[in-house]
Structure 1
Amino acid sequence: MSYLDAGASGVNSTRTPEPQQTQLVDEAVKWLVLMHSGRFNEADAQRCAHWRGQSSEHQRVWESVEKLNRQFESVPGSLAMPVLNRPRVSENRRMMLKTIALAITAPSAMWLGYRAIPWDSLNAQYRTGTGERRDVALADGSQLSLNTSSAVDVVFDARQRLVLQRSGEIHIQTAHGPQAGARPFVVKTQQGSLQALGTRFVVRCTPDRTRLTVLDGAVQVRPLHWSETQIVPAGQELDFSADRLGAKVPALPGVGQWVQGVLYAEQMRLADFVAELARYRPGILRCDSSVADIPVSGAFQLNNTDRILEALAQTLPVQIQFRTRYWVTVAAR
């Protein structure tokens, strides 16, 4: 398998949806969000029925979006309406539509398991949306980077330097020096705490587990319901839950390269690669089982996920099927 270059041009895929169809999908998603918001009144119902009755294509798109929504857990109204009302979103219609479509169609890191993720993740001190990354210089000189759909709060006081990781994935390079060393640097997730021992490391959270990868130095891990700790050295990673500590294993190559805007793969199953890529774009991105085991290797620039899909289609025996901008399948050619 050759080394894939995401900068390649051209595409070998099925037809991209027409702008009119994409607009209809956007409108249908907005109606669906409003319908599940708890604020859907009789006048709204009449307007929605009028929209659906404008043409057979309106009705077909509505049925497709409604069917898609049934495949996933509906977003509660208390989440959906703030998305509609956020000032930043109202200033940028395109971003609003992406956010709404994500909320309805994809269980991303922000939306998946909303019952388990603390409400604070939506109002965290530092957070990123889908496909966004952010670098933060902390008060002690440490460097914090947030990957896509991530949220943290930072609490520094006289006793400790604390990062409360609400969701997503972060990269930390701790500061050196006697002043920094006087206070422990701790990351807390829903599953436990991680104390840096002069180090650079990556922490990735899901609702039921935390994955630690240590790049330099070492990190001490303590699950929430355990009294014992585990020290993880550089080049190792482990998963843990609130009541279980996994085994240390060699870190996968390329972990943390998202800080430089790169998604790295080395003989990765296509299904796993597509699942990783899906974290960086709104909507559904899935891999057909017939091509799931094709190996992928390469370094892919995350600033344009469409070009990554193009590169897959040019190099592998696959095609990219666009049902809509938010519903994409990697399938056999």
Structure 2
Amino acid sequence: MPATDGMSRAMASAPIESRIESHILDEAADWLVRLHDQELSAAERADFERWQACSDAHRAAWARAELLMNQLGDLPAHWAMPVLDRPVRHAAASRRKVVARLALLLAAAPAGWLGWRVVDRQGWSADMRTATGEQRRLTLADGSRLLLDTNTAVDIAFDSKQRLIHMRYGAISIETAPDPSGLQRSFAVQTSRGRLRALGTRFTVRSTEAAVHLAVTEGAVEVTLPGESSPHAVVPAGQQTELSQQGLAPLTPLSLPQQAWVHGMLMADALPLAEVCAELSRYRSGILQCAPEIAGLQVSGAYPLTDTDRALAMLEATYPVQVRQRWRGHWVTLLAR
């Protein structure tokens, strides 16, 4: 009995998020599959909101389900597909298997990926990350669309009060969706230079050591600088700015060529070759440089960021430059031809 009493006291003192009952996790998994597979009716949406409001444990279970969804990026195809295009009795059985698998992941979450993600702050433990040369498109748990550019790492924190993306480094493009929870949670990106709150928006954020570049293509973004309790400015569609140690730079018209990376392209319009090389190098492992005598060569054209070898071949075919590769392409230099 003393051992049992000790265990009871430990469970009672544990955070509610870590002691959610299994049937609530099963229900959260079922809602996750339903929200993924179909558009809910108004009545079903009301049922979902009532289910969340039942208790703190229900809200914590759904927060965990959202985090799981964000961690997976989307419901894995080999889990979702068996539910589709099958007779009803087989689809129901497949659905039960999917829900059971998700419930197991939800139950294991605190001891698994929910715990290790906060250990390392260099990007390896980020909720979402991309390697050099990789771009990754994701649909978040709330339906928002997120694109991670090359060498990017972010953490995602959805709870009952907010939808937050914490940007570690790199560049992202976001197309926000209305909050499906009915809680009217704000959607924001936390950067090293300030907080960016979406106002029905599509925008991009690029973080460097010197500054954070914000460009808004739809809606508007509210900017709050570090140490400030109220918004500093609102950046409307068609405008861009930078956040740095000096504060918020004046707004300037959006540069569409600078947004071409969202489509996997580098758009150059009389751009110095050195800048073209610097941008391509972000998508390529190893070293990419150009000789000083051709660094100022004006380059125009559209170059694929996902195939830098092809981009270099296009430059060589169009301009008086030659590509010299050493160490199996890990050291590339553009020389005058």
**TM-score with structure 2 setting the length:** 0.61
Q: Is the 8 A contact 2:160 2:183 kept in 1?
A: no
Q: Is the counterpart of residue 136 in structure 1 residue 138 in structure 2? A: yes
Deviates more, 1:255-264 or 1:199-208: 255-264
1:275-314 to 2 correspondences below 5 Å: 275-314=278-317
Alignment counterpart, residue 333 of structure 2, candidates 326, 329, 332: 329
Q: Is the 8 A contact 2:241 2:249 kept in 1?
A: yes
Indicate the SS of the match to 1:199.
strand
Indicate the SS of the match to 1:161.
strand
Q: Is the 8 A contact 2:198 2:220 kept in 1?
A: yes
Deviations 1:196-216 (A, max 9, x none): 111100000012311001111
Q: Is the counterpart of residue 151 in structure 1 residue 153 in structure 2? A: yes
Q: Is the counterpart of residue 210 in structure 1 residue 212 in structure 2? A: yes
Match of 2:184 in 1: 182
Match of 1:168 in 2: 170
Amino acid in structure 2 at the alignment position of 1:215: T
In the TM superposition, what is the alpha-carbon distance from 1:317 to its structure 2 partner?
A: 1.2
Bigger Rg, structure 1 or 2: 2
For structure 2, the residue ranges without an aligned partner over 5 or more in a row are 1-119
Q: Is the 8 A contact 1:225 1:242 kept in 2?
A: no
Aligned-CA RMSD value: 1.9
Deviations 1:109-160 (A, max 9, x none): xxxxxxxxx8252210110000001111111110001000000111111111
Match of 1:316 in 2: 319
Indicate the SS of the match to 2:334.
strand
Q: Is the 8 A contact 1:190 1:242 kept in 2?
A: no
Distance in 2 (alpha carbons) for counterparts of 1:240 and 1:189: 9
Distance in 1 (alpha carbons) for counterparts of 2:207 and 2:184: 28
Amino acid in structure 1 at the alignment position of 2:174: I
Amino acid in structure 2 at the alignment position of 1:292: A
Residues 1:205 and 1:180: Cα distance change in structure 2 (over 3 Å): farther
Residues 1:248 and 1:181: Cα distance change in structure 2 (over 3 Å): farther
Deviations 1:177-232 (A, max 9, x none): 67578111100111111011111000000123110011111111122144551111
In the TM superposition, what is the alpha-carbon distance from 1:265 to its structure 2 partner?
A: 1.8
Overall identity of the aligned pairs, in %: 45
Match of 1:24 in 2: none
Q: Is the 8 A contact 1:223 1:241 kept in 2?
A: no
Distance in 1 (alpha carbons) for counterparts of 2:155 and 2:319: 42
For structure 1, the residue ranges without an aligned partner over 5 or more in a row are 1-117
Q: Is the counterpart of residue 201 in structure 1 residue 240 in structure 2? A: no
Indicate the SS of the match to 1:256.
helix
1:56-95 to 2 correspondences below 5 Å: none
Residues 1:258 and 1:147: Cα distance change in structure 2 (over 3 Å): same
In the TM superposition, what is the alpha-carbon distance from 1:302 to its structure 2 partner?
A: 2.2
Residues 1:226 and 1:287: Cα distance change in structure 2 (over 3 Å): farther
Indicate the SS of the match to 2:200.
coil
Residues 1:309 and 1:180: Cα distance change in structure 2 (over 3 Å): farther
In the TM superposition, what is the alpha-carbon distance from 1:243 to its structure 2 partner?
A: 4.8
More helix by share: 2
Q: Is the 8 A contact 1:132 1:149 kept in 2?
A: yes
Alignment counterpart, residue 252 of structure 2, candidates 225, 249, 252: 249
Deviations 1:66-92 (A, max 9, x none): xxxxxxxxxxxxxxxxxxxxxxxxxxx
Amino acid in structure 1 at the alignment position of 2:251: K
